[in-house]
Amino acid sequence: KPQISRSGNGFIPAILVPEGNTNDSKELIPMVESIIKRTNVIPKIVSTDDGYASEDNRSKLLEMQISVVSMSGAKGKKLTPIRSWNSKVYQEERKNRSAVESTIFSVKHLYDFGDVRRRGIDEVTAELLEKVVVFNFARIGKIEKAKQVKIENRKKKAS
């Protein structure tokens, strides 16, 4: 069951392909560690669904100097201090979960992420990583196109 993460800009900075059908909550800390190792950046915010919620995960992420650890759902609410849960930043992160789900949907359906042709954990990991790289390049193209549209719109307003 592959695990992907999403950056604030919509990129996939890390992918994990654990062997077997592991519990999502066991993959959260290795995923965040992988992000930090690959990017040399400690995320300010980690937002997950309830499948990743655990007291241990929350504590470890806070120890890693991540300032907002938002775990949606009933388990996440139970683990999060009420003051944090009700804060604007946590409310925003729960609303923004749809962006993560959209990324997962896109990589699965537009880049055939769920369909692998290779066998063996190393080969499957390599194939899925290739698909993530293509996704990220496409994301760069979308960001650049949006920048160009903004520049053109400013030019039109100025003239």
Reported confidence tier of residue 118, pLDDT bands at 50, 70, 90: confident
User: Among residues of the chain, what percentage have pLDDT more than 70?
Assistant: 100
Contact, 93 vs 76, CB < 8 A?
no
The CA distance from 136 to 33, in Å, is: 20
Contact, 76 vs 89, CB < 8 A?
no
- pLDDT number for residue 9: 87
- 109 burial (CB, 10 Å; 0-12 / 13-18 / 19+) is exposed
User: What's the longest Cα–Cα distance across the chain?
Assistant: 60
Please determine, for residue 135, whether its predicted confidence score (pLDDT) is greater than 90: yes
Please determine, for residue 159, whether its predicted confidence score (pLDDT) is greater than 80: no
Reported confidence tier of residue 137, pLDDT bands at 50, 70, 90: very high
For 65-100, what is each residue's pLDDT tens digit? 999 999 988 999 999 999 999 999 999 988 888 788
Please determine, for residue 3, whether its predicted confidence score (pLDDT) is greater than 90: no
What's the one-letter identity of residue 20?
Answer: G
Give, in order, the Cα–Cα distances in Å from 74 to each of 49, 51, 91, 133.
Answer: 10, 10, 14, 34
Strand partners, 46: 69
CA dihedral sign, ordered 48, 132, 9, 38: positive
Residue 66 token pair: 């991540």
Contact, 27 vs 16, CB < 8 A?
yes
Q: What is the pTM of this model?
A: 0.81
